[in-house]
Amino acid sequence: MGNVSIYDTYTRSEIELDPARQKNITIYSCGVTVYDLSHIGHARVFIIFDILRRVLKKNGFNVIYAQNFTDMDDKIINRAANEGVDYTQISKKYIDEYFTDSDLLNISRADMYPRATDHIYEMVKIIKRLLETGYAYKTSDGIYFSVDKFPGYGRLSGIKKEELLAGARIDVNEDKKNPLDFALWKFHEDRPFFDTEIGHGRPGWHIECSAMIWKNLGDTITIHGGGEDLIFPHHENEIAQSEAFTGKPLSKIWMHIGLVKTGEEKMSKSLRNVFYIRDFLNAYGPNVLRVLMVQAHYRSQITANEDRILKAIEIWKIIEEAMFNLGKPFSLNGTEQSAVDEVMKELRLADNALGHDLDTPESLTHLLAAARAINRMQASLKLSPPVVQSMNLFNEITSCFGFKLPEISRDEAETAKRLVTERATLRSGRKYAEADQIRKKLLEMKIKLIDVGDKTYWRKVEVL
């Protein structure tokens, strides 16, 4: 148990969370708009918040975590029209696909997954209050929030209103009082729309998250976050409308994740340069993707190129071997205390780094050093069960990273056992060429063999 610090985008400083003073933590992460498969840029946000949650729980916090789905949006409606189906069929399909990807990545399920369309009542209630208090006004095409009424507008992004105005895209609607004013509700007579007391229409993007947070987590939450591309305008607008409505801070900490880039550009479906999670998992596996996404600090951008992927593969191979070795220790010699001390020193440094603004690169460096030491101990037959018990911190840290050894099906396990037995028989009969063919066949199944004396251990690996 211990304190955890997180960098706050709003104050530009690290804020320390102490379980002795604030044990209960509420987190809201902006999720996906469900009109297509998720790409690895999305995966980085999912993975970082998963690690954050695991680290907080390890350090004694009670965590309530919400991740939303935007399940009505022009992109969803347009895709539904192109496919000749109702928009709800598109949103359901891609919510299901999200969970498939998330589960394969070993991402712990959130405590709740609020959906925008389930919160229309709350959106209307917020908008009505904003109209009554003068923070919002009606035009011919919708209801807008007046940024001039909110003095702190621009503080999160650090951009002055004058600078924002210089780069603002002025809508065709001439009724807007300020080009920066954003839509809370857009009037629509074409279906789909919601029939409410503020008119037929659809909600603006920003009001959806404010409503979902308010209903499910309250006026003020502990941590709000998402990709750094949401700082402006999405999170800036959330702050304005939520705090104008409640009179309280929306979040104590604003946490933003650096973008994943391919070359010089961010990964984006509109740019058609995406690497879907599903495709990456089929090519490399979930743990390799996790390593790739934590090689750089979460606040830094990362480029997903071949060099970084190859580095992630090599790192994972070492950690994977150590995880297996700690589960299957074999010892013929006594373990030197100095070797154990070396591992524990690295593990404590890895643990401390995770608690300091989720410094995954630093933590990974020390975890890797510990893994190498563990593998050396196993190779020299000095990894005994008592030593393994003393290294429980290794399992705690790999769990915080969300690493998980590859699973093997019952059929694969039975086939592997049979082939390993056949190979042992061939080896005892000095038929080494035939035995080597079985080893190659097992490698094709991603089954790696470890010969120790007259015994053979085997394990499923993620990548060869």
Mean pLDDT of 152-158: 94
Instruction: Note the pLDDT of residue 270.
Output: 59
Mean pLDDT of 92-118: 98
Pairwise CA distance, residues 29 & 223, whole Å = 8
Mean pLDDT of 265-279: 74
Instruction: Note the pLDDT of residue 386.
Output: 79
Instruction: Note the pLDDT of residue 379.
Output: 85
Residues 419, 386 share a domain = no
Pairwise CA distance, residues 236 & 223, whole Å = 15
Instruction: Note the pLDDT of residue 163.
Output: 76
Which residue bears the tokens 């037995």? Answer: 421
Residues 86, 55 share a domain = yes
Pairwise CA distance, residues 53 & 47, whole Å = 10
Ramachandran sector of residue 357 (left: φ over 0; alpha: ψ -120 to 50; beta: rest) = left
Mean pLDDT of 47-73: 97
HSE on the CB side for 443, CA within 13 Å? 8
Residues 329, 208 share a domain = no
Is there a cis peptide before residue 192, judged by omega within 30 degrees of 0? yes
> Is 281 within 8 Å of 101 (Cβ atoms)?
yes
Domain contains 297: no
Instruction: Note the pLDDT of residue 162.
Output: 76
Mean pLDDT of 359-386: 92
Residues 50, 85 share a domain = yes
pLDDT of residue 193 exceeding 70: yes
**pLDDT tens column, 25-35:** 999 999 999 99
pLDDT of residue 271 exceeding 90: no
Number of domains in the chain: 3
List Cα–Cα distances, 275 to 38, 105, 271, 305, in angstroms: 9, 15, 12, 11
Q: Could you tell me whether strands 136-138 and 142-145 are parallel, antiparallel, or unpaired per DSSP bridges?
A: antiparallel
pLDDT of residue 80 exceeding 60: yes
And the tokens for 330? 């074999």
Instruction: Note the pLDDT of residue 77.
Output: 94
Instruction: Note the pLDDT of residue 143.
Output: 97
Residues 253, 202 share a domain = yes
**pLDDT tens column, 208-253:** 999 999 999 999 999 999 999 999 999 999 999 999 999 999 999 9
Domain contains 291: no
Domain contains 263: no
Mean pLDDT of 164-177: 64
Average pLDDT, the chain: 92
Instruction: Note the pLDDT of residue 454.
Output: 78
Residues 417, 383 share a domain = no
Cite the beta strand spans of 258-404 per DSSP E.
Answer: 260-262, 265-266, 302-303
Confidence of residue 118 (pLDDT cuts 50, 70, 90): very high
Residues 249, 335 share a domain = no
Residues 153, 27 share a domain = yes
Domain contains 77: yes
> Is 5 within 8 Å of 243 (Cβ atoms)?
no
pLDDT of residue 451 exceeding 90: no
Least confident of 20-24, 278-282, 294-298, 383-387: 383-387
- 174 exposed, middle or buried (CB, 10 Å; 0-12, 13-18, 19+)? exposed
Residues 252, 213 share a domain = yes
pLDDT of residue 182 exceeding 90: yes
Instruction: Note the pLDDT of residue 1.
Output: 75
Instruction: Note the pLDDT of residue 160.
Output: 81
Q: Could you tell me whether strands 251-257 and 221-227 are parallel, antiparallel, or unpaired per DSSP bridges?
A: parallel
pLDDT of residue 437 exceeding 90: yes
Domain contains 359: yes
Instruction: Note the pLDDT of residue 389.
Output: 81
CATH number of residue 86's parent domain: 3.40.50.620
pTM score, two decimals? Answer: 0.93
Is there a cis peptide before residue 203, judged by omega within 30 degrees of 0? no
Residues 152, 60 share a domain = yes
Domain contains 283: no
13 three-class SS: strand
Instruction: Note the pLDDT of residue 331.
Output: 67
Does 360 or 391 have the greater pLDDT score? 360
Pairwise CA distance, residues 14 & 37, whole Å = 34
Pairwise CA distance, residues 172 & 148, whole Å = 20
Residues 316, 181 share a domain = no
Confidence of residue 378 (pLDDT cuts 50, 70, 90): confident
Domain span at residue 431 reads 410-460
And the tokens for 144? 């807008």
**pLDDT tens column, 395-418:** 999 999 999 999 999 999 999 999
pLDDT of residue 78 exceeding 80: yes
**pLDDT tens column, 306-344:** 999 999 999 999 999 999 999 887 666 666 788 889 999
And the tokens for 354? 């995770």
Spatial strand order of the sheet with 194-196 comes to 136-138, 142-145, 182-187, 199-203, 194-196
- 253 exposed, middle or buried (CB, 10 Å; 0-12, 13-18, 19+)? buried
List Cα–Cα distances, 448 to 226, 420, 423, in angstroms: 39, 11, 13
pLDDT of residue 171 exceeding 60: no
Residues 252, 315 share a domain = no
In percent, the amount of the chain with pLDDT more than 90 equals 80
> Is 250 within 8 Å of 243 (Cβ atoms)?
yes
